[in-house]
Structure 1
């Protein structure tokens, strides 16, 4: 992408758009996919066969090729993870529908990441643990960087279980030896027990850990766009600050209300946003009215005869 290329907001099915984008050009890919994909998904019952993984003479497991079956999926570096998928499906067959939707999009996201790039996958508690196991198999456990917990304190109170007040953000890097991460660029936060540190440290604040305490978007606050799944700018600001430099390209292809792009623009980053929901596009058109250098594109494929 040329340095003078405009920021883009594309109205389209992301899986149709992603193959048209150049490989290795995004330093950050942030994804907040919906669980309900908004479309009917046909299910076909399949038998998942375990792919044998031979061991070496010293007992270590290898990724050596096994006889292929019709459902075998080979990930990056030749990793096979049909066995893992099969095991997970024994516990929750609904996950296969979700993974069939999400997997090809994650593969594209990985292709689009720069060698020093980072993928942030934002999920709730229902899917995070499944996704972690499958992403380890697909991209390599060595590429896993963090499991971030975003904890918040607003919303309904459950009475028959502990109230669910957190999301999980899985963080994977394209190359464990080359990824960009600058903790010094991140806004610091107050100490939870300032009396336990010196006054100088208390005034400076501390760097965030992998547990982020941050409220949701206030229903009456400045950020509120009316989009139901809008995420706070503070969460995206921390991600963009840490994992990109000024001028880097950021991609979000479940863009929703456009928070990723809004934060990227404020911090001097470039962005591509994709969403197929007309309501999301309408919200972003209002949100980016005063942001220079933003182009809206209609990438939907006509089905007319």
Structure 2
């Protein structure tokens, strides 16, 4: 069994619909999950990540998102992100997610590590979470270059010594670093799935041999991501490049600085399409201004036709 077949594939990093008062919008979440998974190319979901505003959710809310998604997703795989700073809190969040129906957990680097993290702390944090979920698959998140949240090769090698590690969301946002991560994993743990997560260069990573993807654009245009993947696998690079050209323009706008507005931008698009009731995010994240929303929708329309 290949890494793609075992723990890889295409995962949509979903958003978390909310009401104007910040409460979870259960009905919109059910519709959102159903719409994303209506695309047969999506193997599953990544919940409570950056796009899902997981850092703004309580443990009970994170678990509620997983429970609702599990009821809607049927047999599709569900990965739940954990982002807490303290290992004990992250471990408890991971346990709650597994109990609620997640198939595995993805460990996001605490934002404080952007200031510099000791390698021993990084490894101990992941080991603590792995122990807490008792053998459930653990996914690493390789952060973007320059953020301070990307793991250096020696740290990545140490993390791959954790038996529970089954996959890596490769979000370095740089093709060279994607290649480095992939080569390290192939050498040390060839069964570990390395999944591209740089929305602007998915095409390049797919060509290099990604084991799937875990991107939030799949929460908005899942069919385009699936089609891009399928065209590369089938060797139809002209068709793949045509989709890439459209996705590139949309990704540049969604993930533009300041990056913390990506979830709000995705919600603005989804609300405009009628897939969620409101574009509300949890405070202090503001809504997207009308002029920016218009630019997003203009870039989105070609992608809806790309598949």
Which bin holds the TM-score, normalised by the shorter protein? 0.3 to 0.5
TM-score by length of 1: 0.37
Higher relative contact order (CA 8 A, sep 6+): 1
TM-score by length of 2: 0.37
Q: Which has the higher helix share?
A: 2
Q: Which has the higher strand share?
A: 1
In our comparison, the structure showing a higher alpha carbon Rg is 1
